[in-house]
Amino acid sequence: MSDLNSFFNSNLKIKEIYYSSDLYSDYIEKISGKCKYEVTESQIQKEILNKASRILKNRFSTDILSTQLKNYPLISVADHHGLLNYKLLYNSNILFYHIIRKLNLPYIVVLATGDIPLKNISFPRGFYFKNQKFNFFNKKESTIPVHLINSVVNTGSNKTIDDIVLNFKSLNITSEEKKFLDHLFYEGLNFDKSSENYGQFSDQLSYLNFKIWKYYFSKNLRDSIPDIIYIQSNQIVKNIFKEEISKDNSLIAKILFDSSVRNLVLKNFQGIQSCWSKHSGTHFFWGISAKKNIFPLYCSDDNTLVGKDLTLSLNKEDIIESLDENKIRLSNFFHYLMTTFIGGYCVLGGFNQLEYLPQMQTAHIKTLKKLGMSDLADQFASRITDGFICGMLPFQFDSGIDLIWHYNSTNGKFNGNLDRGITQEQLDEILAMPMKTLIETGVSTMLEIVK
């Protein structure tokens, strides 16, 4: 309990929900009521549709997704961009599922960050199964951010799990487990087809997550389960940013190129988690080294950003060139500015976001009012910043693949199909769970993971 109290000392909004008497169904009612509003078709919507249509091709209706994004501007930013099996993250999508079902919507839309390196705790370098990590990439590549990985996972010609996992034969795995993994990846996920048809690792993952998602659920439920549209957020936000920076009058252009506006922003966002402080974060962008590691950048007095391996002039041409050449990447400050505050989307994330996103909202409003931009301040004030789904655990399996194994094997014996999964009764039990139980279990598990 001491760990929980310590966590609550820096997460007061979670503490307030924890001590309420709400069930998860009550929380869903509140979120569902807030996010029923219409937004003007924005660039972020167009980017989501374009990216989704390229990755998933004819597997969903673009018109239906467009209508959903316009009338219910609700997306998840809880995930890291890896195979959808890490337990904190697959659980967030199961919780998100309940909100989408309540609204009677066909798609779960997830903008997953590809900023994290392949070695991140969520392990985008491969996947978890029975406490083992299965690598798609060599150790020397493990520090590279997901969005910079261009290589395609090579499945080979034999079409078995051996062909996609490095050093597979040295792992301690039973013949039944191998049989199960072969069946999951090749009979279920069609991994060989994803390798053939998708040219980037991140696009493969989006396709595989679209496929793996419904295998979490019992076969009799799958037709009623909303599809998951899982997209790397970096690609989308980068394209929007490049358009915004080219508009002389855009807020983003003012922040970067008008020193008085920039200094006001630097002052008002100082100390907010996910922005910058004296000892953490970065000013607007992260630098990317030749070895593809990131480092912070800080504003100097001569309209430049300076970091360990880079000096960046604050002008449109240099910034766009540095983005295109992967010398810099956008910080969370710009990600949220474009998705939530300009785009108008309710973004559901984790416990920490529930604290810092409202603080960012307050800082934006204060800044805009100081600049005489009251209309935009009122628009930003209307944004929903208090939604979260990540960190609560309805199911306690090491990974989503463990979850699928659990339902489709008995006493270590695989049943030869993938028909079984989460039942309707279990989904109903989640709705009836007290928020206190979900949060306490989630925080305890999260703190254990990150020790």
**In whole angstroms, what is the distance from residue 434 CA to residue 82 CA?**
30
DSSP conformation class of 170:
G
In this prediction, what percent of the chain has a pLDDT beyond 90?
Answer: 66
**In whole angstroms, what is the distance from residue 358 CA to residue 246 CA?**
28
**313 and 413 belong to one structural domain:** no
**58 and 150 belong to one structural domain:** yes
**286 and 229 belong to one structural domain:** no
The better pLDDT of the pair 147, 362 is held by 362
Candidates 92, 182, 166, 96; CA nearest to 132 is 166
Can you give the residue range of the structural domain that contains 152? Answer: 2-234+388-449
pLDDT tier, 155 (very low <50, low <70, confident <90, very high otherwise): low
Residue 17 lies in a domain: yes
**216 and 292 belong to one structural domain:** no
When the pLDDT of each residue in the chain is averaged and rounded to a whole number, the result is 91
**161 and 301 belong to one structural domain:** no
156 pLDDT above the threshold of 70: no
Candidates 439, 434, 440; CA nearest to 24 is 434
pLDDT tens for 11-50 read 889 999 999 999 999 999 999 988 887 787 788 899 999 9
**173 and 308 belong to one structural domain:** no
The mean per-residue pLDDT over the stretch 362-386 comes to 96
1 pLDDT above the threshold of 70: no
**In whole angstroms, what is the distance from residue 352 CA to residue 13 CA?**
10
pLDDT tier, 445 (very low <50, low <70, confident <90, very high otherwise): confident
pLDDT at 131: 84
The region that residue 412 occupies, defined by phi over 0 for left and psi between -120 and 50 for alpha, beta otherwise, is left
Residue type, 118: L
158 pLDDT above the threshold of 90: no
**In whole angstroms, what is the distance from residue 236 CA to residue 241 CA?**
9
Give the ranges where 219-331 is alpha helix by DSSP (H).
233-245, 251-257, 259-268, 316-324
Residue 271 lies in a domain: no
CA 404 to chain centre: 22
**76 and 215 belong to one structural domain:** yes
Residue 82 lies in a domain: yes
**413 and 320 belong to one structural domain:** no
Residue 226 lies in a domain: yes
pLDDT at 76: 96
370 pLDDT above the threshold of 90: yes
Residue 114 lies in a domain: yes
90 pLDDT above the threshold of 70: yes
**169 and 85 belong to one structural domain:** yes
- Tallying the residues shown for the chain, one arrives at 451
Residue 6 lies in a domain: yes
pLDDT at 301: 80
The region that residue 57 occupies, defined by phi over 0 for left and psi between -120 and 50 for alpha, beta otherwise, is left
**157 and 223 belong to one structural domain:** yes
**Overall number of domains in the chain:** 2
**130 and 53 belong to one structural domain:** yes
